[in-house]
């Protein structure tokens, strides 16, 4: 079993005695290789709806919560086409989530839609440039 050590940012495997410090390196471990084989034996075809492809199969993490000691149910078998599609959809989802966090602010005489992070950066930039634009949160409804 691989254990993720968040303080040292490393993943250690008791079985294979491997220690890795990044996700990219994790994907090259014997532990991950064995886990992939186990998943492929259990689900030897793409699990995407209406696809049963057995070509070019990838193992996809549905969650990274148990990275290093994943349950087989944390993983799903996908053909390359659907693996790419799922990651594209996830990127799109994250983009929409970020967009929904934007709120309107009156900055000087301009209305800007900002995420809390962008607002923080703007205030910091103002301070650095030693200028103080008036920033007012606008009401939304
Ligand atoms: Zn597929």
Whole-number Cα distances in Å, 112 to 98, 108, 118: 15, 10, 10
pTM of the model as a whole = 0.68
Separation of CA 55 and ligand 1 centre (Å): 9
**Number of domains the chain contains:** 2
Asked if residue 67 and residue 119 are part of one domain, the reply reads no
Supply the pLDDT for residue 79. Answer: 97
Asked if residue 84 and residue 41 are part of one domain, the reply reads yes
Separation of CA 84 and ligand 1 centre (Å): 10
Separation of CA 88 and ligand 1 centre (Å): 14
pLDDT tens for each residue of 79-107: 999 999 999 999 999 999 988 889 999 98
Asked if residue 114 and residue 71 are part of one domain, the reply reads no
Separation of CA 46 and ligand 1 centre (Å): 5
pLDDT tens for each residue of 111-122: 999 988 899 999
Structural domain range at position 126: 101-137
Separation of CA 41 and ligand 1 centre (Å): 17
Residue 46 · residue 15 · CB < 8 Å: no
Asked if residue 105 and residue 83 are part of one domain, the reply reads no
Asked if residue 13 and residue 72 are part of one domain, the reply reads yes
Asked if residue 92 and residue 23 are part of one domain, the reply reads yes
Asked if residue 90 and residue 105 are part of one domain, the reply reads no
């Amino acid at each position: 079993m691989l254990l993720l050590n968040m303080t040292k940012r490393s993943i250690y495997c008791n079985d294979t005695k491997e220690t890795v410090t990044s996700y990219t390196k994790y994907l090259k471990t014997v532990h991950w290789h064995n886990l992939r084989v186990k998943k492929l034996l259990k689900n030897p075809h793409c699990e995407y709806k209406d696809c049963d492809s057995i070509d070019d199969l990838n193992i996809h993490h549905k969650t990274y919560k148990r990275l290093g000691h994943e349950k087989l149910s944390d993983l799903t078998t996908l053909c390359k086409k659907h693996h790419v599609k799922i990651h594209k959809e996830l990127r799109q989802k994250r983009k929409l989530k970020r967009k929904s966090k934007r709120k309107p602010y009156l900055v000087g005489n301009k209305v800007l839609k900002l995420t809390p992070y962008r607002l923080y950066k703007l205030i910091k930039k103002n301070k650095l440039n030693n200028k103080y634009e008036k920033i007012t949160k606008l009401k939304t409804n």
